[in-house]
Amino acid sequence: MTVERITELDDWPFDVRDLFPGHPGDGRISLTIATHLIRTPDLTVLVDAGNGDGRDRPGMPAHHMLDAGWAVRLAERVVPDDVDVVVCAHLHPDHCGGLTTGDGRPAFPAARHLVSRADLDALRAVHRHGEPAGLARTWEDSVAPVLAAGLVHPVDAREDGVDLGHGVRLRSAPGHTPGHLVVEIGPPGGPEVVIGGDVLHHPLQFADLDLAQAGDADPARAARTRRDLCERLARSGGLLLPSHFAPGRVRQAGDGFAYTPSR
């Protein structure tokens, strides 16, 4: 098995308090947008599909009309028709915008698209009510075409996970969104690798697991999910592959946790 990291943006700047309203400091921080490609002898899984280029996201300048070339870089690693499964950690624009091509066709026409039923229902409701416009457009140009093509398979990931076989599982990790998913690779009791999506957005959260990101739908639940993930990774020694900062390993540090980026 291999896991490859395909980065869409490696410098995605934000004002720290725009991203974390409860943070006491000032200044700018930089995130990444990263996706992951899992290959086994019998299965190719793409985890997340980036923001996509040329996406019209009114009111969401960080997502609006990017020109990052992610689809080209992905195609250098895998033929899109050879992707068997696409998993979206959740349905925010920077995780599902690349599900379709620039002309609105499904980008991975042979793949089962696994998304949480809760997040699918939530984004459908946003579109139905028309607010906020950027998320409504995400439904229109990135999710609805894949749904109409019959490629979406909603999942209800329980705490004990959904087994994709080959040592790959989906696990429920709610809080940032109602149905946020993580992907675990390895034995159920001690994952060797966790693709963590937006459970954590930046390493500064390890010092304060209660620090909410501005987009957390349920901040208290998100904090509990962060702690649960950190505890499991600290026990197993597993590698964390986040969407928005460098891969690394979590360790216990007193009553909290510390993070060591991988080299």
Q: What are phi and psi of 232, to 5 degrees?
A: -65, -40
Model-wide pTM > 0.85:
yes
The residues spanned by each domain of the chain are 2-261
**pLDDT score recorded for residue 65:** 97
Domain 2-261, CATH among 2.40.30.10, 3.90.1170.40, 3.60.15.10, 1.10.3720.10: 3.60.15.10
- Of 252, 196, 190, give the one whose Cα is nearest residue 34: 196
Q: Taking residues 116-144, report their average pLDDT.
A: 94
The model's pLDDT over 134-179, given as tens digits with 9 standing for 90+, comes to 999 999 999 999 999 999 999 997 656 789 998 999 999 999 999 9
What are the residue ranges of helices labelled H in 62-191?
Answer: 70-77, 93-96, 117-129, 133-138, 144-148
Using pLDDT thresholds of 50, 70 and 90, give the confidence band for residue 104. Answer: very high
d(CA 42, CA 165): 10
**pLDDT score recorded for residue 159:** 59
Residue 102 scores a pLDDT above 90:
yes
Q: Taking residues 79-86, report their average pLDDT.
A: 98
Q: Taking residues 240-250, report their average pLDDT.
A: 98
d(CA 121, CA 152): 13
d(CA 4, CA 34): 10
Q: What are phi and psi of 211, to 5 degrees?
A: -70, 110
Residue 125 scores a pLDDT above 80:
yes
- Average pLDDT of the residues of the chain: 95
